[in-house]
A and B are shown apart, each in its own frame.
Chain A
Amino acid sequence: GAGVSQTPSNKVTEKGKYVELRCDPISGHTALYWYRQSLGQGPEFLIYFQGTGAADDSGLPNDRFFAVRPEGSVSTLKIQRTERGDSAVYLCASSLVPSGSNEQFFGPGTRLTVL
């Protein structure tokens, strides 16, 4: 079966531009997470969706970052006025149920480079 997919795999943009990163979770998974992984670091939590709603957005670094999941499946992470410090790999994960002890399935990530 299909795993979590993310598009694009690579995105290069210029400072100040707007970008959208897409995540397609495993079918039927109600929980969806976004993480950011900087070079040499482990992934860091950004936002969690249960269904269509953002149940926890405490990891978003500032108001330039926003994410939506309008139909409870595909999610889009949106970054406004990108900065060089936003360069990282953005990971999406989904889980069948949101319990913390359950496995999260990760996508391959989108590598964002801000010039």
Chain B
Amino acid sequence: GDSVTQMEGPVTLSEEAFLTINCTYTATGYPSLFWYVQYPGEGLQLLLKATKADDKGSNKGFEATYRKETTSFHLEKGSVQVSDSAVYFCALSFNQAGTALIFGKGTTLSVSS
């Protein structure tokens, strides 16, 4: 079945370090891909998305490129901040009415100053 696999955490970085969180997917069709973030004590919120191959989603300094050939959507940021500490979820959804999101297990990022 369709699924998302993301790297296990926790990921611990110092401020200004480079971040990569790997995400790969298995899907029977051509899904849209998402990164959601959950800050401590808050609900899930969309960080970025890409709806077709080679699209790059970006927001708040984070980027991810939809790679169909490697079925990947890795999240990157050039210089992390303490405020980026959160749980990050990679997800996919198909472009049909009402299809739900399929999430990975989440990766906890902890950034220290």
Contacts and interface: CB of A to CB of B under 8 A. Distances in A.
A4 B98 CA distance: 18
21 contacts: A35-B100, A40-B105, A40-B106, A41-B106, A42-B106, A43-B44, A43-B101, A45-B101, A48-B98, A50-B97, A55-B98, A56-B98, A100-B31, A100-B96, A101-B32, A101-B49, A101-B95, A103-B46, A104-B46, A104-B101, A109-B43
Contacts of A103: 46, 49
Interface centre among B36, B100, B103 (most CB of A within 10 A): B100
Nearest to B6: A42
Interface residues of B, number: 27
A57 B59 CA distance: 33
Interface of B: 4, 31-32, 36, 42-46, 49, 51, 89, 91, 93-106
A98 to B, nearest CB: 4
Given A100-B31, A103-B49, A45 B43 contact: no
A91 B36 CA distance: 14
Given A91-B44, A100-B93, A101-B49, A42 B105 contact: yes
B103 A99 contact: no
A3 B43 CA distance: 10
Nearest to A103: B46
Interface string A23-63: 00000000101010000111111001010000110010000
